[in-house]
């Protein structure tokens, strides 16, 4: 259930989109395009966008660069969350997490179960935080990108969402670093 408190202002956040794929290009990145379309529609800023290969060092290098960028509050990736030998996105993300947000993957799979049944066990969607930046990894299909955004992230990245949201926690994400 999502509730919006209209007395609070909408606060756009800077979001980077990372597509993880050995085959996608800017010309055919349908999942990245879907995320860019949805976040813009909902008033957020596309702060950066990139495509990297299914390679842990390449993924972690991009994540670390974006974590260090003050214009980026959130990174959302698409792709590489399956169980095949080349799917390494969760491992890369988890190597940079300071804290894991277990509920993100759990909720994503519950939502996905409503649509694809037990096939959802093949998704290793993960969420976490590092250096004051939220990091979310979604599967690489446009429908997974849409579901992750529409059912979870759209609400948690809206400062007006009640009873609580991730945006209101942003000022406190780096308390341990001070």
| Domains in the chain: ranges and CATH | 10-171 (3.40.980.10)
Partner residues linked to 64 by β-bridges: none
pLDDT at 176: 84
Strands across the sheet containing 74-78:
45-52, 14-20, 74-78, 133-138, 126-130, 99-100
Q: What is the DSSP letter of 150?
A: I
pTM over 0.85: yes
Q: How far is CA 158 from CA 68, 97, 117, 118, in A?
A: 23, 22, 29, 30
Task: Decide: 137 and 89 in contact? Cβ < 8 Å.
Answer: yes
Taking residue 88's Cβ as centre, other Cβ atoms within 10 Å add up to 22
pLDDT at 177: 78
Per the listing, tokens 């950066």 go with 48
Which helix (H) or strand (E) element contains residue 148? helix 142-148
Residue 23 half-sphere exposure, CB side, CA atoms within 13 Å?
7
pLDDT at 1: 62
Return d(Cα 15, Cα 145) in angstroms, integer. 14
pLDDT along the chain (178 residues), means of 10: 89 98 94 97 98 98 98 97 94 98 97 95 96 97 96 98 96 88
What is the CA angle 20-143-147, rounded to 5?
A: 100
Distance from chain centroid for Cα 95: 16
């Amino acid at each position: 259930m999502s509730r919006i408190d209209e007395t609070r202002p909408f606060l756009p956040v800077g979001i980077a989109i990372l597509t993880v794929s050995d085959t996608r290009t800017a010309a055919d990145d349908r999942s990245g395009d879907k995320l860019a379309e949805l976040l813009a529609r909902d008033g957020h800023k596309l702060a950066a966008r990139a495509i990297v290969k299914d390679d842990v060092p390449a993924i972690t290098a991009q994540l670390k660069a974006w974590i260090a960028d003050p214009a980026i509050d959130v990174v959302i990736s698409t792709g590489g969350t399956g169980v095949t030998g080349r799917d390494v996105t969760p491992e890369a993300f988890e190597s940079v997490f300071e804290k894991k947000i277990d509920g993100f993957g759990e909720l994503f799979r519950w939502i996905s179960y409503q649509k694809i049944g037990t096939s959802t066990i093949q998704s290793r969607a993960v969420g976490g935080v590092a250096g004051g930046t939220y990091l979310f990894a979604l599967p690489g299909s446009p429908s997974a990108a849409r579901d992750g955004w529409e059912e979870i992230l759209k609400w948690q990245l809206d400062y007006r969402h009640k009873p609580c949201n991730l945006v209101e926690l942003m000022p406190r994400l780096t308390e341990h670093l001070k």
